[in-house]
A and B are shown apart, each in its own frame.
Chain A
Amino acid sequence: MDSLATLASATWGGPLLVLALMLPVAALMLAFVLGGRHAERVVLATLPIGLGVAVAIAAAIIHQGAALHYDLGGWAPPLGVSLHADGLSATLLLTTAVVLCAVGLYARADFRVPPGVSEARAPLAFWTLLLAVWAGLNAVFLGQDLFNLYVALELLTFAAVPLVCLSGSPQTIAAALRYLLFALMGSVLYLLGGALFYGAYGTLDIPMLSARLASGDPIAPAALAAAALMTAGLLAKTALFPLHLWLPPAHAGAPAAGSAVLSALVVKASFFLILRLWFDVMPASLTHLAAQVLAALGAAAILFGGVLALRQARLKMLIAYSTLAQIGYLFLVFPLVANPAAAPILDLGQTPGAWTGGVLQLVSHAFAKAAMFMAAGLIAGALGHDQLRGLGGIGRVLPMTVFAFALAGLSLMGLPPSGGFASKWLLLSASIETGQWWWTLVMLAGGLLTGAYLFRVLAPALSTRGPPLTLVKPVERSRELVVLGLALCSVVLGLVPFSSFGLVQIGRLGATGIGLP
């Protein structure tokens, strides 16, 4: 790390990181204290400011070409806790802010305090939980200390679980409990891994730990055990096959705005930590075998999630299983980035396209899946149900919603022009360049399955036969526009030239270059 660049960033970029952390927490307390109708106003006032902060952080990182760093209270690690934002963190902060802004606008109609009452349970819970999820996500993306990250992950879980059961029906409470139990098992395994790291190396600060791991050659068994435990725990939270059982009922049971947040953002936080663990903490230990195992689980998730999505009778369940499959793509990054054949590219000081492809998949899936869940919410609200069988002709009644759904589907399938296409193309070409053709087959099969299950939704939705549908409730045009905007975001990502994705590589030089024995 260039010490001069670090010093410069500490002087003017660093405090932005504190702001990104403090803003949601302060707003959360304010919303909770003021309560009633004010909670919604506080959230809607805070979200644009948060978006501004995220943009400022990304701009500062691009401007300086280096990661931002801040030592809280002036205490340096190991005793102090520091915040750190590289290009990947900034990308995710920005994605989070954009998706949450859209969710906030969309959710106004669902979580309005009814007239005549000063405060209602569900709106207050939703708006405060939304801020809590935001705080947890930002803490995860900015954390630099493995224990601090554990606390951030727990905060995120505690905020996400109640979102699942906002409706209070027995099914959603059972889904929330199952989610909580999986997440708790995951976090305990993560903590056990942290304890082993601490015992073996005496620190939990990521750069110090990484330096001590790199100097101790060969890798101690304790470090490998710790990494394995942490990964297993985080996989349970990311819902990678076969630890996915909690995800479909939880994500399908939540209210549409909640599903959007859970599916687009919350599962990505634990995936982000897996990336941190293998590429930042112990890049030298990401062996061929470990990478192949992670990617094999991802491949299984792609196929299994796709097949199960084909068999669902409800729209929201179909989208939830689609999340399962799309998460699988993220794990293909590991063998594609850490492959001997990629070494010459790394020597030039560039991270390979697979890295950009993986991050792009993360971002475009976040936009597309949030748009899809919110479109499903509009359809379910207008029809009074979300059975696939009853969707015939919905395209004639809600053309804009169905169009947004189809645009988001374009990105999930990986058809051009869309962010999903760009990411899958980068991953495909990386798998061919590195001679790992079997991942190409999986990705192509996954794309076909995605096309098939989206066809099951869109074919009846766009049919012109049958009696016209009667809507139980009209759909507000402004909410349709929000969904369409988010779907367009996922498409526009594919139209941007690759060279402008330099942001996701800042702060990564050297970190990924060691990934080879």
Chain B
Amino acid sequence: MSSVTLFGLCGAALVGLGLFGLIVQPGVLRKILAFNLLGSGVLLLFGVIARRGGGVVAGNGSDPVAQALIITALVVAFAATVLAVALLRRLVQETGRDSLDSDG
């Protein structure tokens, strides 16, 4: 098994786990963590694509554009996590519970 296939499968597994967690887990903190798993999986796939995709620069072996996109997406995902955690902290302070189920 080549490293590309291995990392591709890892990415797919992370996406699956993350999606499952995001939908099934009742706790918001777990949902946020699942979102991070999902995001990491997508970025790993992006990295795999950078290694073998259409934009590979000859001789270099990897595509710098995709890496730049990954770094930007990481920053965005980090900001999203911070916003979600801040909202969750406030929710717990106000109500003492950390799930969204009881009101929906």
Contacts and interface: CB of A to CB of B under 8 A. Distances in A.
Contacts of B28: 177, 181
Interface in B88-102: 88, 90-91, 94-95, 100
A170 B90 CA distance: 8
Interface in A137-154: 147, 150-151, 154
A196 B50 CA distance: 11
B45 A174 contact: no
Contact of B104 (A173, A191, A249): A249
Nearest to B66: A198
Q: Of A177, A201, A202, which is in contact with the most chain B CB atoms at under 10 Å from its CB?
A: A177
A178 interface: yes
A162 to B, nearest CB: 8
Given A151-B72, A170-B94, A198-B49, A184 B84 contact: yes
B100 to A, nearest CB: 5
Contacts, number: 105
Contact of A184 (B72, B80, B91, B94): B80
Nearest to A178: B100
Nearest to B98: A177
A139 B55 CA distance: 26
B103 A174 contact: yes
A96 to B, nearest CB: 22
B87 A199 contact: no
Contact of A180 (B19, B39, B46, B87): B87
A300 interface: no
A158 B65 CA distance: 25
Contacts of B32: 181
A188 B39 contact: yes
Interface string A159-201: 0011001001111011011101100110110011001101111
Contacts of A147: 69, 72
A181 B42 CA distance: 17
A79 B65 contact: yes
B13 interface: no
B10 interface: no
Contacts of A505: none
A174 B65 CA distance: 38
Interface string A93-122: 000000000000000000000000000000
A445 interface: no
A117 B94 CA distance: 26
Interface in B52-104: 52-55, 65-66, 69, 72-73, 76, 79-80, 83-84, 87-88, 90-91, 94-95, 100, 103-104
Question: Chain B contact residues (Cβ within 8 angstroms of A): what range?
Answer: 35 or more
B42 A188 contact: yes
A184 to B, nearest CB: 5
A165 B87 contact: yes
Contacts of A196: 49
Contacts of B65: 78-79
B2 to A, nearest CB: 16
Q: Of B15, B32, B100, which is in contact with the most chain A CB atoms at under 10 Å from its CB?
A: B100
A150 B87 CA distance: 22
Contacts of A201: 54
Contacts of B104: 174, 178, 245, 249
B91 to A, nearest CB: 5
A203 interface: yes
Contacts of B76: 150-151, 154, 187
Contact of B80 (A154, A174, A199, A245): A154
Contacts of A154: 76, 79-80
A181 B84 contact: yes
A192 B73 CA distance: 11
B39 to A, nearest CB: 6
Contact of A174 (B38, B39, B55, B100): B100
B55 to A, nearest CB: 4
A151 B39 CA distance: 14
Contact of A181 (B35, B72, B73, B90): B35
B6 to A, nearest CB: 17
A144 to B, nearest CB: 15
Given A151-B72, A198-B54, A181 B31 contact: yes
A180 B83 contact: yes
Given A154-B80, A168-B90, A170-B94, 10 more contacts: A158-B80, A158-B83, A162-B83, A165-B90, A171-B103, A177-B28, A180-B87, A187-B80, A191-B42, A245-B104
24 contacts: A78-B65, A158-B83, A162-B83, A173-B87, A176-B87, A177-B28, A178-B100, A181-B28, A181-B84, A185-B35, A185-B38, A187-B80, A188-B18, A188-B42, A191-B42, A192-B45, A196-B49, A198-B46, A199-B49, A199-B54, A200-B53, A203-B54, A203-B55, A245-B104
- Please list the 10 inter-chain residue pairs (A to B) with the smallest Cβ-Cβ separation, ordered nearest first: A202-B54, A199-B49, A202-B55, A199-B53, A195-B46, A170-B94, A170-B95, A192-B42, A173-B91, A177-B87
